[in-house]
Amino acid sequence: MDEQAVRDHAQAHLDALVAGDIDRAIQDLSEELHRNLGEIMAMLPLPLTAADIESVTMGGSSYTAILHLVGETEESRLETRWKERDGRPTIIEASLLHETATQDTGVDDATDDEG
C-alpha cells in the first residue's frame, strides 16, 4: 500500500458518497467501523453535493487522509486513517475535524443603504 493507492481508494470512496451509493462507500470501512456505522454516518453532511481530498500523509504504519465533504446545508472535514486490510486500503478510523453551515442566506449587508 502506498500514498497513491490510498488516494485512489479515498477518491472512489468520496465518489460513492457523492453519488449516494452508501453500500459502495461502506465497503471501504473496517469491520470495527461497520459495527459503529451509525456513528460514522452521523459525521457525514448527507446528502453530499461535493467532496475532495485535502491531503494524504504517511504516519507510522498507516496513512491519514483529510476529506472535505460538502452537503446541502453544512460541510465538514474528516480525518481518516487507512491501513491495508485484505490486500486493499481500508478506513480503520474516522474523526470529525470541523463542521460549518453552508447555507447561503443570499444577503450581503456590507452595502446596505440603511444608515
**Stretch (H or E) spanning 100:** strand 88-101
At residue 85, the 3 state secondary structure works out as strand
Residue range 1-23, pLDDT digits in tens: 999 999 999 999 999 999 999 99
| pLDDT value of position 104 | 54
Residue range 28-43, pLDDT digits in tens: 999 999 999 999 999 9
Residue range 45-65, pLDDT digits in tens: 999 999 999 999 999 999 999
pTM, two decimals, is 0.84
CA-based nearest residue to 26, from 102, 90, 97, 100: 90
Assign domain 3-99 one CATH number from 3.20.20.140, 3.40.50.620, 3.50.50.60, 3.10.450.50: 3.10.450.50
